[in-house]
Every structure is written in C-alpha cells, then in structure tokens.
Amino acid sequence: MRLISIALLVGLGLGHSNAFAPSTRSAPSSAAVVQQQPPSRTTTTTSNTQLFAEKDDDNSDDILKPKYEIEPLPLRVGHGFDIHRMAPLEEAGQPVVIGGVTIPHKDQKWTDAEGKYVEKGGIYETQLGVVAHSDGDVIYHSIVDGIFGALTLPDIGQVFQDTDPRWKGCDSSKFMEHACEVMTGYGYQIGNIDVTLILERPKVASFKPGMKENIVELLKTTPGRVNIKARTHERVDSVGELRSLSCHVVLTLERIEK
C-alpha cells in the first residue's frame, strides 16, 4: 500500500517556528495552581502540510520508505521509550505537557543537582517545565516511537531530528498525526496501546482521562484499545528527584481488513 510521503505533506511552515507551537497552550504562572479536572484537548490550526515543509537535504521521506518489504503480517508489536529533563519553568521555557494535556501544579520540591538556584543537592521549590526541542511530550513521543518500531522503521529521533528548526517547540500531536498516516499507509491500525508514565511529581491521576481521549482521537481508535498507567520512581535517581520524567509504551498494530 502506498505510503503518504512526508515530502507531499509539506509547504508553508519551514523557518517559522511560531507556526509549530500550540495555539492555546500557555505556561502556568508561578502562583500555586490546583486543577481538579483535566482540561479539554488543545487543538491547533497548523496542518501537517504546513509542518512537513520540504527541504533540499531532508531525507525523512526515504527513511520511512525502506528498500526492503514491510511484510503484511496480521499483527505487529512495538515498544517506545522517552525521557526528558524537568527544570524550573524559567529555565525550561515551556510547561509540563503529557499526552497533549498541560499539567498545572503547585510549586514542587525539585532537587538542584548542579547548584544553580540553591546549594548543590538542595531543594528548590518551583513550578516545573520540560526541557526539550519540541514540547517534550513523553507519551506522544513513546507512542510514535512504538508505531515506527512495529513497522521496522527508524526511531522518532531520526525522523524528527532535534537539530531541525521545524520541530522547535512543536506540538507533538503533529508527530502523532503523521505516525497515524504512516501506519495507515502501510495498511495497519492500532490493536492496543499500553502506556506506563513514570514521574514523581506533579500528580497526574486526574489528567489521565484527557490524555486517553487525545490518543484515541489522534490515532483514530477506540477507548477500549488505549490504557494509561502512571507511577512514581520511589524517589530514586533523576526521576525521583523531579529532574526528569519518562515513559514506556507497548503497542500492537493489526492489519486492516480489506
């Protein structure tokens, strides 16, 4: 089945990084904020045609169309993993976004391992943000990586390189939409997705329904095929010290019946 080419998805966005950012997301203020219900899914008006702007040196289209046959197996299994640093919001420059949901939170007890704000190893109470080239959405990145892996394609870092200005501050829902197009182009749909989100703070239990809704919508699947689990890291290493968050995803792709 013909894969929709990245080169055909492009057009207007190259060199205009503001076009990549979510249209309605904003960083939480330094004041303490408690959100009881997950916010509704943020939508953007920037199309994939605008985002995947063609470049003379862009080889990502070839990367997603290997010379070998991607055999039409009835079931494929993929695994994705992502990790990003967390830092004070003023340093990160963008909020914590997970599964397409911006996570408001009270000031958190972040461990200053380098002594930038307090003594080295001391606790600095602050609003947190994610340090990343794009928006740093670990769930979306892990799912995209899992889809590419299931199809025996290169990892997300090769397809959406962190040196490419097109992806600076990019809303990662665009990566999800493109991965869905690639998956469908090869004749597959989501079988099921199992997400394990790992972060110490902020707490995200109330936001999981919104994350799930976003995934279901972006990948054109159903709620009974998507699961999201979240756990802490028992205060161990950088995740336990609130200096990072990570995510594992296991998923299956099933052949679309003709």
pLDDT, tens digit (0-9, with 9 covering 90-100), for 119-147: 999 999 999 999 988 888 999 999 999 99
- Please choose, from the candidates 84, 94, 83, 86, the residue with its C-alpha nearest in 3D space to the C-alpha of residue 22: 94
Q: Which of 19-33, 52-66, 89-103, 216-230 has the lowest mean pLDDT?
A: 19-33
Q: What are the DSSP calls for 216-250, one per residue?
A: HHHTT--GGGEEEEEE--TT-HHHHTTSEEEEEEE
Strands of the sheet with 188-198, listed across from one edge? 128-131, 75-88, 244-255, 188-198, 226-231
- Taking alpha carbons only, the member of 169, 163, 165, 135 closest to residue 15 is 165
Q: How far apart are CA 230 and CA 228, in angstroms?
A: 7
Residues 206-258 have pLDDT tens digits of 999 999 999 999 999 999 999 999 999 988 889 999 999 999 999 999 999 87
Least confident stretch, 53-67, 79-93, 169-183, 191-205: 53-67
Full-model pTM = 0.77
In angstroms, how far is the first alpha carbon of the chain from the final one?
12
Q: Decide: 199 and 139 in contact? Cβ < 8 Å.
A: no
In DSSP terms, 246 is beta-bridged to: 83, 198
